[in-house]
Structure 1
Amino acid sequence: MAVVILLVRSPRPARVAASAVIAVTVVFAAGAVPAAQIGLRARLPEAWAIAVCDVGQGDAIAIRAAGHIALVDTGPDPRALTACLETLGVERVDLLILTHFDHDHDGGTSAVAGRVDAVLHGPTAAPDDERTLTRLRDAGARLVRADAGMTGTLGDARWRVLWPQPRTEAGNDGSVVLDIAGPSVPPMLMLGDLSAEGQRRLMATASLRPTYAVVKVSHHGSADQEPRLYRRVRATVALISVGENTYGHPRSETLAMLASVGARLARTDLEGLIMLWTEASTVRLWHEREPP
């Protein structure tokens, strides 16, 4: 109605009032998202060590150890990643791990270009893959190709690369698989988008822990899983980073398989931002929304 008043011939007092209504509406709309982020940030547990960002159909997982930050993948949308990092209060990333170069894992990379110290990445194939890395390098990041056997530290946590092998081709089965643990970081296995065949090859070559507290389920909960790996891992929590999609992710058979091994399922599409940490030898889990 305010717009109509402005468009038609109306008395001056009505036009002034209409302009005020529109101005207030615009200011309120512009401030709504930041206000929501501020409200969410106030609710976050101070002790969080793992934060699974709700970036839709994709992966973006922040890990914090003794004040140092790693980011595993960047999701499909720089705006969604920016919003999550702002909520977390993350301004700089010590280590960015790009597991592979599908858009749902590297599409948000521009959000952190210029704010990354080092990039650990999987094998490349397409020119776009190289362009992504070039942008990060030109913005000041040091690039390192990930191969099985590499190790490093993040604050007081230690990480290991379990996959890929040196001559593995790019793609889902070239995903960087990371093992990380620390005093506050629950022992976690991140499987990228490995297929069932890739998971079998991982089992045959990698030195896995006896058990893990947390597993990042491969490929957003697709049906292409190796149940023996999840039985071997025996994770307390199974994380599924997923959003609206046409693939049916997470698939019902995968959810049933994870439930059968006793894992507590945690899904970003149902629970929003998910956080975990270790407290008194116990894994703690916090979520933005209560699941149905």
Structure 2
Amino acid sequence: MGVSNHTVGTFTFFILNGIPGLEDAHIWISVPFFSMYLIATVGNCGLLYLIWTEETLHRPMYYFLSMLSVNDLLMINTVVPKTITIFWFRLKEVDFGSCLAQMFFIHTFTATESGVLMLMALDRYVAICHPLRYTTILTNSVIALIGTAAFLRGAVVILPFPFLVRTLPYCRTNIIAHTYCDHMAVAKIACASVWIDAVYGLVVASVVSGLDILFIVVSYAVILRAVVGLSSKDARSKAFGTCTAHLCAIVITYTPAFFTFFTHRFGGHTIPHHIHIIIANLYLLTPSMLNPIVYGVKTKQIRESVLRLFHLGKMGSVNRSSG
């Protein structure tokens, strides 16, 4: 399958080989992958429905959470359906244009995820350090504007990826040892130097994620100073409590993301390739699955809204039965 129709040294389609070395176990690996996908889809759709229908959740914090959920849904649906068809039906072929499109959207949504987490840190800073001006600073129009800017920033910095990959010649093989069209996974099978791709990818990750993390750290340093200055222990506890879900989201998003990014570029000879591919998939799936769970458990307003929704549903069932 490594040979296919090609013109001027460029293949017309690629073969996504799944997880190298574990091809016989693809059907078993698909079970946890598909389960995580279902949990992420149900959890994020449920969270969006809850925020849409509950008036008490029509606040800036939950609008940013809605952005995170929408981005997670778009991201996993860019990756998982194709991965499942590889695991279940061995449909590994993907045409060149579709591969470039998937590459663009995967990396755009991961960059947007980082931007939204940074905006959520801004939200916590305003809520804790300027509580009386919270709703006047973060108006609906401001939220829409900065949310759009986070997406456009991701799209603009990622746009060169498919163009860089498209200029490379592919004359050795068209087999990509991955489950999706990751930028460097595609570039590495080219029969030419890919140092520009590697350097640009490193610059994008360093600038985008680096600046976002720097802003998050500065925001929480200011928040910490403000919280420590509160006179009431209960007030300090409540203020910290509003940040725990966001801090958990930061950890579960950035930890596997940086592991995947740096091992793909610098640790290729020390970490087994199939481990790298599995982690690369989990870093897209895990945050999408855990974010709604973390916010559901850690956020009092969401817990109360869920209980109220179930209570209304139960009351409706009782009334129908009585009728």
Using structure 2 for the length normalisation, give the TM-score.
0.24
Question: Higher helix fraction: Structure 1 or Structure 2?
Answer: 2
Using structure 1 for the length normalisation, give the TM-score.
0.26
The higher relative CO (CA closer than 8 Å, separation ≥ 6) is in 2
Question: Higher strand fraction: Structure 1 or Structure 2?
Answer: 1
